[in-house]
Amino acid sequence: MPGTKGPWTDKRIEKILGNLLRSGVIAAAIVVLAGGIIYLIRYGANLPHYSIFHGVPSEFRSVEGIIAAAVTYRSRGLIQLGLLLLIATPIARVAFSIFAFALQRDRIYIIITLIVLAVLIFSLAGGGL
């Protein structure tokens, strides 16, 4: 059939995975760069006080807080959103791999990849601590 791309071959899956990783890293870099530029414009002239430790504000300790700050173009929110995108990129790769292995009907790799995804999610959720 014209217009179809054919079966899900290993080569096609590798190409899609490569594009997924590349796109995720580029998107993360652009968001972090935008946040860095905004940060430097707003606070670049301020001198830091290294004798006083300032922890991360509570609003940046949750995904919702980071997204809310990024939507309002707050520099730290954009930087942290870019880092979340960078963390999400390999997770998206693993999730797509499950889908690709399911299309190929490769049960062993589906099980292995599900275990890898479970370990990633468990570790990101705090590791049970």
**Cα separations in angstroms, 55 against 29, 59, 78, 89:** 24, 11, 18, 27
Residue 109 inside a domain? The answer is: yes
Residue 129 has pLDDT above 80, yes or no: no
Indicate whether 52 belongs to any domain.
no
pTM higher than 0.75, yes or no? yes
Q: Check whether 44 has a pLDDT greater than 80.
A: no
The span from the first CA to the last CA of the chain, in angstroms, equals 53
- Residue range 23-35: mean pLDDT, rounded: 94
92 within some domain: yes
pLDDT at position 127: 62
- Per the structure, how many domains does the chain have? 1
35: containing domain: 10-45+57-124
3 domain residue, yes or no: no
Looking at the domain assignment, is residue 100 inside a domain? yes
Q: How far apart are CA 51 and CA 12, in angstroms?
A: 54
Q: How far apart are CA 25 and CA 86, in angstroms?
A: 6
